Amino acid sequence: MPMTNNNKKCFTCHRENNTYTCEGCSQRFCSRHIPKHQQRLNEELSYIIDGYNEFKQTINEQKQNPRNSSLINQIDQWEIESIKKIQQKAQSCREIVIKSSETPINDIEMKFNNLIKQIQQLQQENDFNEINLNHLRNQLIGMTEDLNNPLKIYIEEDSQSFINEISIISSRKPTFNKWKQNAITVAGGNGQGQKLNRLRIPSGIFLDENKNIFIADYDNHRIVEWKCDAKEGQIIAGGNKEGNRMNQLSYPIDVIFDHQNHSIIIADRGNNRVIRWLNQKQQILIENIACCGLAMDKHGFLYVSDCYKNEIRRWKIGEYNKGIVVAGGNGQGNQLNQFSFPNSIFVDEDQSAYVSDIGNDRVMKWRKDAKEGTVVAGGNGEGENLNQLSSPRGLIVNDLGQIYVADYQNQRVMRWCEGKEEGEIVVGGNGEGNGPNQLNHPSGLSFDDEGNLYVVDSRNDRIQKFKILCK
C-alpha cells in the first residue's frame, strides 16, 4: 500500500497534519490512524480466509457425499411416491381378480341351489317325466361347462407411460339382469290402514334368507314382518301408537337385521334415536341423532346417516358413544365433501359407503378413510333424464359394482355402472300410478337369493316383487 506526503485532512480525525493516501480506498490518514486502518484491512482479510476455508470444506463434503443435495432428495421422494402408487395399483388389481373369480362361483352356486330345490320338489310330488329330467340334465350340463371354463383374465400394459400402467381386463362381459316389468304384491296392497294386511307409507325394508320381509311401516309407527307368501304381517316392534316409551316408535324410517345379536336395529326417526329390538325388549343404542338410513358392514360396524348434520357416522358394536364421521360432516352443500340431506346407505366389502344424497339428487361413494366422495349416479341436477335423479332413496350395490337406486320422485328404479355418465331404467318409469308396472314414490330396495327385486312402493302402501328373467 504505497503512501505519499501531503497536507490534506486525516479521514479519521480531520486534522491537517501530514497525511498519507491509501491507494485501495483513496482516503488520507495521519501517522496515528494509518496503523488502525491497516489493522482493519488485516481483519477483513482474515474474514475472507475464513470464508474460503468454509467453502472448501463444503466442496469436500459434497465430494464425499454426492447424494446429499436437494435435487437428490427430490428424486428420492419421487421414487417413494411412485412405489407407493404402484403398490396401490397392484393391490387394486389383486382385489379385482379376487372379486372376478368369486362372482362366477357364487352365480353357479346360486343356480345349483335352485336346481336342488327343483329336484327336491319333483321327488316330493313324485310327478315328473322325460321333459322334466331333460330340463334338469341340461341345467347341470350348463353349470358344469361354466365351472370348467372359468373367467379368463389377463394383464394389459400401457407402454406409453414411463412407469407401465397395468389394468385387469376380463374376457367375460358383465351380467346385466332383467326383471319382469309387471310386479306382484307381496305385502300390503290392500289400501292404507292399521290392519295386519295393510301398510301406511312403508319406508325401509330388509329381507332375510328365508324371504321374510321386515318393513319399517312409517306412518303406523311399527315394524312389521311378513312371512314368505303370507297374506298379512305380524307386528314385531312398536304398534302401540306414536310415542317414545319402551314399547313405542315414532315414524320408523329404516330397519336392518343384526345377525351377530339376532336382533333388529331400527332408525326411530321421530324420536331421533337408533334402537335395538330383541324379544319385545327395546334398547336405545344412539340418542340425539336425526337418523334416516342404516347399514352394517361385514365386520359388524353400524353406519347411520344424520340428515341434519349431513354426515355418516360409523359405530362399533357396544361402543355407541364413540361414533366417528366417515362421510360428510362439512356442513350442508353440494361439494364433494358435503351432503344435503343424506338418506340410505350401502356399505360394500371394502367398507366403501354409498349414500343417496337427496338434496343434491345424486349418489355418492366414499372410500374408507377418504376426505371426500365421488359422484357415482346422478349429480346433474334434478330431472328425469337418464343422467339425472330426483330425490334418490334406497340403494343397493352388487358384486359387479352396479348401483341400483330408488328414484323417488321419478317413480322408477335405476341401475348405474360406476364411471358411466347415465343410468338405465330397471323397473317402473311408467308414470305415477298403482298398476303392476307402475310405482308411486319408491323408497326402498332389496334382492332375494334368486335375484328377484323387491321395491317399497311407499305411496301405494305395498311391497312389490319383480321376478328376475332368465340370464
Query: In the structure grid, which three cell numbers stand for residue 406, read together?
Result: 330408488
Query: Which among 18-22, 42-46, 63-67, 293-297 has the top mean pLDDT?
Result: 293-297
Radius of gyration of the chain (CA): 37
Nearest to 246 by CA among 227, 269, 268, 220: 268
Query: In the structure grid, which three cell numbers stand for residue 182, read together?
Result: 309387471
Whole-number pLDDT of residue 306: 96
Whole-number pLDDT of residue 113: 83
Half-sphere exposure of 213 (CA within 13 A, CB side): 32
Whole-number pLDDT of residue 1: 47
Structural domain spans, the chain: 19-59, 91-168, 184-466
Q: What's the per-residue H, E or C state across the chain?
A: CCCCEECCCCCCCCCCCCEEECCCCCCEEECCCHHHHHHHHHHHHHHHHHHHHHHHHHHHHHHHCCCCCHHHHHHHHHHHHHHHHHHHHHHHHHHHHHHHHHHHHHHHHHHHHHHHHHHHHHHHHCCCCHHHHHHHHHHHHHHHHHHHCCCCEEEEEECCCCCCEEEEEECCCCCCCCECCCCEEEEECCCECCCCCCECCEEEEEECCCCCEEEEEHHHCEEEEECCCCCCCEEEEECCCECCCCCCECCEEEEEEECCCCEEEEEEHHHCEEEEEECCEEEEEEECCCEEEEEECCCCCEEEEECCCCEEEEEECCEEEEEEEEEECCCECCCCCCECCEEEEEECCCCCEEEEEHHHCEEEEECCCCCCCEEEEECCCECCCCCCECCEEEEEECCCCEEEEEEHHHCEEEEEECCCCCCEEEEECCCECCCCCCECCEEEEEECCCCCEEEEEHHHCEEEEECECCC
In DSSP terms, 209 is beta-bridged to: none
Whole-number pLDDT of residue 74: 77
Write down the residue that cell numbers 464425499 correspond to: 64
Q: Quote the percentage of the chain above a pLDDT of 90.
A: 53
Per residue in 187-238, pLDDT (tens digit) is 999 999 999 999 999 999 999 988 999 999 999 999 999 999 899 999 999 9
Question: In this structure, which topology does domain 184-466 adopt according to CATH?
Answer: Neuraminidase (2.120.10)
In whole angstroms, give the CA distance from residue 13 to residue 362: 87
Average pLDDT over residues 36-57: 82
The answer to whether residue 158 scores a pLDDT higher than 80 is no
Whole-number pLDDT of residue 413: 98
Close Cβ partners of 265 (under 8 Å, ≥ 6 residues apart): 255, 256, 257, 258, 274, 275, 276, 277, 285, 294, 296, 302
Of residues 376 and 76, which shows the higher confidence score?
Answer: 376
The answer to whether residue 45 scores a pLDDT higher than 80 is yes
The answer to whether residue 422 scores a pLDDT higher than 90 is yes
Whole-number pLDDT of residue 5: 46
Whole-number pLDDT of residue 169: 55
- Grade residue 160 by pLDDT with cuts at 50, 70 and 90: low
Per residue in 248-279, pLDDT (tens digit) is 999 999 999 888 788 999 999 999 999 998 87
- Grade residue 308 by pLDDT with cuts at 50, 70 and 90: very high
In whole angstroms, give the CA distance from residue 157 to residue 377: 29
In whole angstroms, give the CA distance from residue 8 to residue 1: 18
The answer to whether residue 104 scores a pLDDT higher than 80 is no
Of residues 262 and 458, which shows the higher confidence score?
Answer: 458
Say what the pTM is.
0.67
In whole angstroms, give the CA distance from residue 215 to residue 196: 12
Average pLDDT over residues 357-382: 96
